[in-house]
Chains A and B, each alone.
Chain A
Amino acid sequence: MPDKRSSLLVATRRVAIVAGFFCAVLGGLLWFNSTRLQREDETFRLVEAERLAPLKAQLREDPTNAELKQRIRELDQQLRLEYFRRESLAARGGYVLLGGAVCFIAALHLGRHLHGTRDPVLSAKPEDRRKAATLAGSAVAGTLAVLLGMTIAMVGGHTRQWLPAVAEDTEPTLEVEEWWPEPEAWSANWPRFRGPDGGGVVEMPGLPESWDGESGEHVLWKTEIPLPGENSPLVWDGMVFLTGATETERAIYGIDAATGEIRWTTPVSTPQGSRGEPPEVMEETGFAAPTAVTDGLRVVAMFANGEIAGVSTDGSPLWARHLGAADNLYGHATSLAMWRDRVIVVYDRGRAEDGLSRILALDAATGETRWSTDRPVPASWVSPMVIEHEGQAQILTAANPWIIAYDPADGSELWKVEAMSGDVAPSPAYHDGVAYFSSDGSCLIAIRVDGRGEVSNSHVLWKRDEDDYPDICSLLGDGERIYTLVFGRLFAYDAKTGEALWDQDLEDDFQASPCLVNGRLWLLTMEGEMIIGEADAEGFREVARHPLGEEIGASPAFAPGRIYLRGREHLYAIGSNED
């Protein structure tokens, strides 16, 4: 038996050696062939170029030459056959090499088995596991440290080379901290919902006396907006900004105020927003009800699915975030506000006990959260208003049941009043230290804003709860009177006492918030008709009605000599044609 084993061992050794040499020689030949092919690759192309190309050129000049065609075909076939012959040779060689390698490995295994060297052999000394653990632990820790250092070195100084040079140059400017527009620039434009102060009271020179959307009278341009939205236009230095969205798409638009041309469209998408289920919204609310905000450098827009994005005013995307899925019966519709370089977001969701509602201040340039404060309220639709009283800036918010004022510097509560009930949607009015809030089925209340803490019993100037109050349209106040639009009726109250002064049936439906421009009330009906009138303590006198010919849910935006109206499908610029 030992003799047989020895002779078998010798045989396997010989097989291993033969197979090894066979593989080495075959591998060498294939290597040589491969190198030759690599060199001949160029020769091959040269042959093709030298022999075939002139014939082809000749054929172009003499396309009916049958003999020439035949020669080209033969040469073509010759080249192809040569190519496939070489390919086949390489493939066959590979398989033969694999067979040789299998023999080689099998012979080695068998040889080691016969030789007995596959059986385990004890090392001289067993390993001290605790010592080995210490050493290995140090090695792992060291590797992690090296890994950290190397990765930081590799990606720490990483530049976003895929960004255009212009954007990179302008980026530092955008990231300058604590930049915000001059008050004059803010007031001269229409940077947010209901104008610079969010109250809808402005002086605007040169507004058109009349217009007619159907005949085109004083309609400077009319532009179709690709995606629907109930948000209102913003105006800043020759550009108009608005947003649109459907279940699957969201976009911010920059429109040339002079021509109506859509200069840029910036889609908005975040992984969470795109992946998540679209929110359920009412058709009247849609997916782009919140009005955006701009400071002249950036436009920040929010959508019903919880996505919020900042773009520069040339359309370049700056940042995008997802603030969590909206849980809102009618669809999220709260517009954005801005204080200095911070975008104020009121994101009330679900029920109060869900603990989802909060107010945030985001850096307009980067989208980073400057502060975030939880709100003990359910979903609401009131757009926040930023006011300043005796040097203290305040963000006025309202929901069920709390009316709360926040410090925009750090998000802390300044004062609060328990007064609201039901679904709270109308945005407040403010004048000279007094804020006015109201909502359908609740009350109309005037509150002094100089309090601290809960001021339900100390700072309520007056409160009425015996009338009908608005469900959507914001309050309008001029210091003397408070106006509300309730189911087609215009109501006026004494701002100082809350006494009901008068009401007038306008026989129309309203969704847009009223404005007080150049001392006159501008009331935009859902049919698209602008009712302009004068009001005093005695009553309302209608001055004019201007039809647009398209339904409207968004509030108007005003600029010197211009009115921008967003219909269901189009954006209109109304102005004097002579401008």
Chain B
Amino acid sequence: MKAERQKRPKASESRDLRPSTFRPSTPGGRIALFWILVSLVIGALPALGIERFPPPDFSGGHEIPETVVPASQARTQAWVDVAALALGLGLASWISLRLRSRKGLVILSIAALAYFGFWRQGCVCAIGSVQNVALGLADPGYAVPLAVIAFFSLPLIVALVWGRGFCAGVCPHGAIQELVLIKPHKVPHWLDQPLRLLPWIYLSLALLLAATGGLFIICKYDPFVGIFRMGGPRGMLLLGGGLLVLSMFVGRPYCRWLCPYGALLGLLSRVSRFRPSVTPDHCSRCRLCETACPYGAIHPPTTDEPSRDPDARPRALALVLLIPLSALLFGWLGGKVGLASVAWHPTGELASQVTMAEAGTLPEPAPDEITAWRQAGADRPALSTAVFVLEQRSLFLGRLFGAAFGVVAALHLVRVRFPQATADYVTDPADCVSCARCFTACPYERLRRGEAVNLPVEGGGRA
């Protein structure tokens, strides 16, 4: 997998790692560029909101023609998508682990963005498939299409073996952020790590709402699908535009701090069989890889003796104490959230409106849902029963997902507070999206490729 071992150069050969062409850009140019970008994004948003303009309402006398149901989409298209996904995953893993080619991944990302993003318009999407699977498991009456199951499971299986190949070059959401990253700035570790809890919260909430049949929030608030489809609600476009502007300066903010599917991929990547390793053979602790990584996924060494881990005992103790406590606490809280989430469910919302209408506090005119419910017979006991069943389900699922979040949060806290002892710069398998930037930064990797490199002093990065 790695190149043949090169003869290790003498440390005294060179210490200058800066490229000879480095020149700082002018402040005026930066400011001008910034304002151009801002006006670009803001200007683009309303242009995409074409659906807002409603068709004329022709009423009176006009006979509405019979609705023609279009033929269902050919199944072959779904399987072409699955094949493209499988091919993309294979290529991404091969390029990132075997070829170790940043250029290859960029080309793959462009292709994935074009196909899964702009051509297929972000649907089917592995990120959203989590909700279909959750609903399918919770509701036997809901059949999850096989293609959706494939989109859900293939990236997870690949992550289990080869790490986050999906994020590396197949996911259009990751690709669009990756491609607009112009001038990455590092987010401090103390800020990055708490933010990495957000995807788990989002995932728990999304699973709860999906499994109760309420709504698919991941799809509803997908930030980039409006851009892929050249239109959508203003809020969606604003969020997507904002994230894209942020992505120009901060590496993949959505992937790192929001993506619920990325949370699952990260979890499985922790136990993946093969992982990207920064250096092909030897780490001189030059810190170039750490500097090159815009995602904070490369951690510096904690010790000079990898066999000695001073945090081993407190880590074990914290795990034993925190996991059950956190699971119980967040499980309890999840139940409360589950009950509260009934208000977001269409059935809960309808019952709430009916209750307000009965109490005379619902403003007129009544919403369409109330009118439809009244026209359907206004079966109050049936509605109460439906809400009651929904409450029971939401309570159970809320506790379940809350407890699961509690376990994850405790593990995350312990992992951050008591990191594993390492003697070299290592990639964090969960946070690494296999973008291959660190490969091109590593002097030994570049040497392996036959490039002329001034190799660093042993331990020079720590001098």
For B408-425 the 0/1 string (1 means CB < 8 A from A) is 010011001111000000
Chain A neighbourhood of B179, CB < 8 A: 105
Question: Whole-angstrom distance between the alpha carbons of A33 and B53 in the complex?
Answer: 12
Question: Whole-angstrom distance between the alpha carbons of A266 and B389 in the complex?
Answer: 11
For A117-131 the 0/1 string (1 means CB < 8 A from B) is 101111100110110
Chain A neighbourhood of B183, CB < 8 A: 112, 117
- Output the nearest chain B residue to A104 by Cβ-Cβ distance: B40
Q: B40's contact among A23, A147, A158, A264, by CB below 8 Å, is which?
A: A23
Question: Whole-angstrom distance between the alpha carbons of A59 and B59 in the complex?
Answer: 13
Is there a chain B Cβ closer than 8 Å to A409's Cβ? no
Asked whether, in the complex, the Cβ of B336 is within 8 Å of the Cβ of A155, the reply is yes
Asked whether, in the complex, the Cβ of B355 is within 8 Å of the Cβ of A163, the reply is yes
Asked whether, in the complex, the Cβ of A165 is within 8 Å of the Cβ of B355, the reply is yes
Given contacts A23-B44, A38-B52, A167-B384, whether A133 and B333 have CB atoms under 8 Å apart is: no
Is there a chain B Cβ closer than 8 Å to A91's Cβ? yes
Is there a chain A Cβ closer than 8 Å to B25's Cβ? yes
Asked whether, in the complex, the Cβ of A147 is within 8 Å of the Cβ of B201, the reply is yes
Is there a chain A Cβ closer than 8 Å to B462's Cβ? yes
Given contacts A76-B58, A126-B300, A158-B336, whether A135 and B387 have CB atoms under 8 Å apart is: no
Is there a chain A Cβ closer than 8 Å to B155's Cβ? no
Asked whether, in the complex, the Cβ of B418 is within 8 Å of the Cβ of A144, the reply is no
Asked whether, in the complex, the Cβ of B193 is within 8 Å of the Cβ of A136, the reply is yes
Asked whether, in the complex, the Cβ of B21 is within 8 Å of the Cβ of A126, the reply is no
Chain A neighbourhood of B333, CB < 8 A: 148, 151-152, 155
Chain B neighbourhood of A152, CB < 8 A: 333, 336
Asked whether, in the complex, the Cβ of A87 is within 8 Å of the Cβ of B189, the reply is no
Question: Whole-angstrom distance between the alpha carbons of A147 and B405 in the complex?
Answer: 12
**Number of B residues whose C-beta is below 8 Å from A?**
101
Q: Which of A24, A83, A266 has the most CB of B within 10 A?
A: A24
Q: Which of B47, B190, B197, B389 has the most CB of A within 10 A?
A: B47
Is there a chain B Cβ closer than 8 Å to A451's Cβ? no
Chain B neighbourhood of A116, CB < 8 A: 19-23
Asked whether, in the complex, the Cβ of B380 is within 8 Å of the Cβ of A117, the reply is no
Chain A neighbourhood of B180, CB < 8 A: 105
Chain A neighbourhood of B342, CB < 8 A: 160, 162
**Partner-binding segment picked from A95-103, A341-349, A547-555:** A95-103
Chain B neighbourhood of A155, CB < 8 A: 333, 336-337, 339-340
The smallest C-beta distance from A378 to any residue of chain B, in angstroms, reads: 29
Question: Whole-angstrom distance between the alpha carbons of A264 and B382 in the complex?
Answer: 10
The smallest C-beta distance from B353 to any residue of chain A, in angstroms, reads: 9
Question: Whole-angstrom distance between the alpha carbons of A40 and B329 in the complex?
Answer: 54
Given contacts A48-B56, A79-B56, A162-B355, whether A135 and B190 have CB atoms under 8 Å apart is: yes
Asked whether, in the complex, the Cβ of A317 is within 8 Å of the Cβ of B419, the reply is no
**Partner-binding segment picked from A269-277, A358-366, A436-444, A483-491:** A269-277
- Output the nearest chain B residue to A134 by Cβ-Cβ distance: B417
Question: Whole-angstrom distance between the alpha carbons of A245 and B326 in the complex?
Answer: 41
**Number of A residues whose C-beta is below 8 Å from B?**
100
Asked whether, in the complex, the Cβ of B380 is within 8 Å of the Cβ of A120, the reply is no
The smallest C-beta distance from B463 to any residue of chain A, in angstroms, reads: 9
The smallest C-beta distance from B39 to any residue of chain A, in angstroms, reads: 4
Is there a chain B Cβ closer than 8 Å to A517's Cβ? no
Question: Whole-angstrom distance between the alpha carbons of A162 and B385 in the complex?
Answer: 12
For B52-86 the 0/1 string (1 means CB < 8 A from A) is 11111111110000000000000000000000000
The smallest C-beta distance from A508 to any residue of chain B, in angstroms, reads: 40
Asked whether, in the complex, the Cβ of A129 is within 8 Å of the Cβ of B340, the reply is no
Asked whether, in the complex, the Cβ of A271 is within 8 Å of the Cβ of B393, the reply is yes
Which B residues, 292 to 344, have Cβ-Cβ distances below 8 Å to chain A?
292, 299-302, 326, 329-330, 333, 336-337, 339-340, 342-343
Asked whether, in the complex, the Cβ of A30 is within 8 Å of the Cβ of B46, the reply is yes
Asked whether, in the complex, the Cβ of A48 is within 8 Å of the Cβ of B384, the reply is no
Chain B neighbourhood of A122, CB < 8 A: 17, 286-288, 291, 461
Question: Whole-angstrom distance between the alpha carbons of A275 and B381 in the complex?
Answer: 23
Is there a chain B Cβ closer than 8 Å to A205's Cβ? no
Asked whether, in the complex, the Cβ of A156 is within 8 Å of the Cβ of B287, the reply is no
Asked whether, in the complex, the Cβ of B352 is within 8 Å of the Cβ of A267, the reply is no
Is there a chain B Cβ closer than 8 Å to A86's Cβ? yes
Chain A neighbourhood of B57, CB < 8 A: 45, 48
Is there a chain B Cβ closer than 8 Å to A4's Cβ? no
Q: Which of A139, A148, A161 has the most CB of B within 10 A?
A: A139
Chain B neighbourhood of A52, CB < 8 A: 58
Question: Whole-angstrom distance between the alpha carbons of A109 and B33 in the complex?
Answer: 13
Is there a chain B Cβ closer than 8 Å to A392's Cβ? no
Which A residues, 192 to 234, have Cβ-Cβ distances below 8 Å to chain B?
none
Which A residues, 14 to 32, have Cβ-Cβ distances below 8 Å to chain B?
16-17, 20-21, 23-24, 26-31
For A43-69 the 0/1 string (1 means CB < 8 A from B) is 011001000110011011000000000
Is there a chain A Cβ closer than 8 Å to B264's Cβ? no
Asked whether, in the complex, the Cβ of B291 is within 8 Å of the Cβ of A136, the reply is no
Chain B neighbourhood of A320, CB < 8 A: 388-389, 392
- Output the nearest chain A residue to B138 by Cβ-Cβ distance: A271
Question: Whole-angstrom distance between the alpha carbons of A165 and B361 in the complex?
Answer: 12
Question: Whole-angstrom distance between the alpha carbons of A162 and B201 in the complex?
Answer: 25
Is there a chain A Cβ closer than 8 Å to B50's Cβ? yes
Given contacts A27-B44, A162-B342, whether A120 and B351 have CB atoms under 8 Å apart is: no
Chain B neighbourhood of A266, CB < 8 A: 381, 385
Asked whether, in the complex, the Cβ of A165 is within 8 Å of the Cβ of B358, the reply is yes
Question: Whole-angstrom distance between the alpha carbons of A86 and B47 in the complex?
Answer: 11
Is there a chain B Cβ closer than 8 Å to A185's Cβ? no
Asked whether, in the complex, the Cβ of B190 is within 8 Å of the Cβ of A132, the reply is yes
Is there a chain B Cβ closer than 8 Å to A94's Cβ? yes
The smallest C-beta distance from A143 to any residue of chain B, in angstroms, reads: 4
Q: Which of A57, A98, A109, A120 has the most CB of B within 10 A?
A: A120
For B427-463 the 0/1 string (1 means CB < 8 A from A) is 0000000000000010000000000000000000110
Question: Whole-angstrom distance between the alpha carbons of A403 and B392 in the complex?
Answer: 36
Chain B neighbourhood of A271, CB < 8 A: 138, 392-393, 396-397
Is there a chain A Cβ closer than 8 Å to B87's Cβ? no
Q: A160's contact among B22, B40, B44, B339, by CB below 8 Å, is which?
A: B339
For A335-373 the 0/1 string (1 means CB < 8 A from B) is 000000000000000000000000000000000000000
Asked whether, in the complex, the Cβ of A123 is within 8 Å of the Cβ of B291, the reply is yes
Q: A101's contact among B21, B44, B53, B61, by CB below 8 Å, is which?
A: B44
Is there a chain B Cβ closer than 8 Å to A497's Cβ? no
Chain A neighbourhood of B39, CB < 8 A: 23-24, 27-28
Asked whether, in the complex, the Cβ of B182 is within 8 Å of the Cβ of A108, the reply is yes
The smallest C-beta distance from B381 to any residue of chain A, in angstroms, reads: 6
Asked whether, in the complex, the Cβ of A158 is within 8 Å of the Cβ of B340, the reply is yes
Is there a chain A Cβ closer than 8 Å to B37's Cβ? yes
Asked whether, in the complex, the Cβ of B17 is within 8 Å of the Cβ of A151, the reply is no
Q: B194's contact among A31, A94, A139, by CB below 8 Å, is which?
A: A139
Question: Whole-angstrom distance between the alpha carbons of A38 and B44 in the complex?
Answer: 16
Asked whether, in the complex, the Cβ of B22 is within 8 Å of the Cβ of A143, the reply is no
Which B residues, 14 to 46, have Cβ-Cβ distances below 8 Å to chain A?
17-25, 32-33, 36-37, 39-46
Is there a chain A Cβ closer than 8 Å to B49's Cβ? yes
Asked whether, in the complex, the Cβ of A97 is within 8 Å of the Cβ of B47, the reply is yes
Asked whether, in the complex, the Cβ of A140 is within 8 Å of the Cβ of B291, the reply is no
Question: Whole-angstrom distance between the alpha carbons of A132 and B299 in the complex?
Answer: 10
A selection of 14 A-B contacts at a CB cut-off of 8 Å is A20-B33, A31-B46, A56-B61, A83-B56, A91-B50, A93-B47, A112-B182, A116-B23, A129-B300, A132-B189, A136-B194, A141-B413, A144-B197, A163-B351
Chain A contact residues, CB within 8 Å of chain B: 16-17, 20-21, 23-24, 26-31, 33-35, 37-38, 41, 44-45, 48, 52-53, 56-57, 59-60, 76, 79-80, 83, 86-87, 90-91, 93-95, 97-98, 101, 104-105, 108-109, 112, 114-117, 119-123, 126-127, 129-130, 132-144, 147-148, 151-152, 154-156, 158, 160-165, 167, 264-267, 269-271, 274-275, 315-317, 320
Q: Told that A45-B56, A112-B182 touch, could you supply 7 new A-B pairs with CB distance under 8 A? A: A41-B54, A57-B60, A94-B44, A94-B231, A114-B21, A148-B330, A162-B355
Query: What 10 pairs across the A-B complex have the smallest Cβ distances?
Result: A27-B43, A137-B417, A30-B47, A116-B21, A34-B46, A162-B351, A20-B36, A143-B194, A120-B292, A317-B388
